[in-house]
Structures are given as structure tokens and as C-alpha cells.
Structure 1
């Protein structure tokens, strides 16, 4: 199987992994935020109850968690795909 074929076959797995990573990252962020702050709610940019610092800190933490979880899921999916098919689904 050519590398292009592997990438095409991997697309549905990668998409499902991205959705799952987003869900996992959201749950993880809420748990982290509860431990970091006194608030049960996570700051939204248009919520007056939170100041600039809280909103920007929350966005930074949320982005870092999302990026790390997505990278872990994407890499794990690529490794599993290679084990199953013998082909690496991305750039070599």
C-alpha cells in the first residue's frame, strides 16, 4: 500500500480521534480549572464575573491541554494504524 493510500484510509480514524481528543481535553480542562481556581465555572471571554487575567489564563491552560491531548491521540492513532497496516499514515 502506498503512503498516499495509507493517508486516505487513515482520515476517518484521524477525524474520530480528533473528536475524542476534544471531548477528553474539555473534561480534563474543567477538572484542572476546578483545582487551580475557586470557581466551578470556567471563564468565558464574555462573562463579566471574570477579569482579563482569569480569562486569558483559562484560555492559555485550555489551549495547552487541548494541544497536548490532541498530539497524544494523533500520535497514538498513527502508531496503532502502522501496527495494523504496516504503513505510516503521515509524513515520513
Structure 2
């Protein structure tokens, strides 16, 4: 049985013109499947609370500016396919 690591979907309410990111913290979050555009995706073994807190800290954003969820069924399949390559 294959256990899937959660994939977090990060939706920017408005894409910032400039985003100063702490790359070290971002890399600690997990494997990034997408980091462009309005919707990002990251496969991570961190708990939802830990993932959100670390993301907000590394990006200097708040929950009012970004919505983070694990409701990404399509991205789970993407992560599974990527892992089997």
C-alpha cells in the first residue's frame, strides 16, 4: 500500500508584485510541485498548522492574503505520478 504525503494548495487572493521569500524555510516545507502564478502546491509531511505557520513566516504574508488547504484531489494524483517517475 502506498501512503501519500499531503499536498497543500496555496491560493493567493492577490498575487503580490514582489514576494520576498525566505528560501531556506520554503525548502524545509517540502517538495514544491508549483511555485508560479496564483496557485502554488507543495507536498509536505508537516501538519497543517506547522505548514501554514512556516509558510506565512517565510513569505511574510497572513491568512487574509493567502488561503492554504489540502483540498487538492487532482494534485494528490499529480504528486503520486511524480513520485513514481
More strand by share: 2
> Who wins on radius of gyration, i.e. which is larger?
1
TM-score after normalising by structure 1: 0.27
